[in-house]
Structure 1
């Protein structure tokens, strides 16, 4: 099942190309994954919905790779932690509620 199909099945409409962006980066390795994160995070951390989706994608990427590519999964875990921490420290009121509703 694709990420989009999984999310749609759970009532969430994917709004970005983050899944596809990180899937392409997976082919090129850890530095490409880090670069993709750096660009996406810097550009979209101010957008509550996109930040939330970035966190979702990072979490799914951890699960995608944890058995077969533990170093890739470890990087995704570190990136997920960074984005999640940023979200809970910087989102307020309705934005923070949205974040928790979607990621819960």
Structure 2
């Protein structure tokens, strides 16, 4: 199993963005994804953070705009990882998100 320590500050970055609303979360995602989607460890962190944020909001309020947004962002990042990671990088991703 892959260690669950994050290599990034993504959890904190998204938490800060939430204070400014869904548009700020979307902007944070776009900047993070653009800058780090080619790094499999950072991409893995991003997918895990988005999933944790999604579930956190879903548990509080399934109808929250953050719940829907995090679901959309998680699905996009997860699909990208599954479509683009290969070999040991995909293995790392799958073990981490399992």
RMSD: 1.3
Greater than 6 Å deviation, 4+ residue runs = none
Q: How far apart in 1 are the matches of 2:48 and 2:42?
A: 10
- CA shift for structure 1 position 11: 3.9
Q: Number of residue pairs matched?
A: 95
The correspondence of residues 52-91 of structure 1 with structure 2, limited to 5 A, is 52-66=44-58, 67-68=60-61, 70-91=64-85
Q: How far apart in 2 are the matches of 1:102 and 1:11?
A: 7
> CA separation of 1:11/1:93 partners in 2, compared to 1, >3 Å: closer, same or farther?
closer
Q: How far apart in 1 are the matches of 2:13 and 2:5?
A: 17
2:84 equivalent to 1:97 = no
Q: How far apart in 2 are the matches of 1:29 and 1:97?
A: 34
TM-score, scaled relative to structure 2: 0.92
| Cα deviation code 1:28-62 (max 9, x no counterpart) | 10100000000000000000000000000000001
**Whose relative contact order is higher, 1 or 2, with alpha carbons under 8 Å and at least 6 apart?**
2
Q: How far apart in 1 are the matches of 2:4 and 2:52?
A: 14
5+ residue gaps, structure 1? 1-9
TM-score, scaled relative to structure 1: 0.87
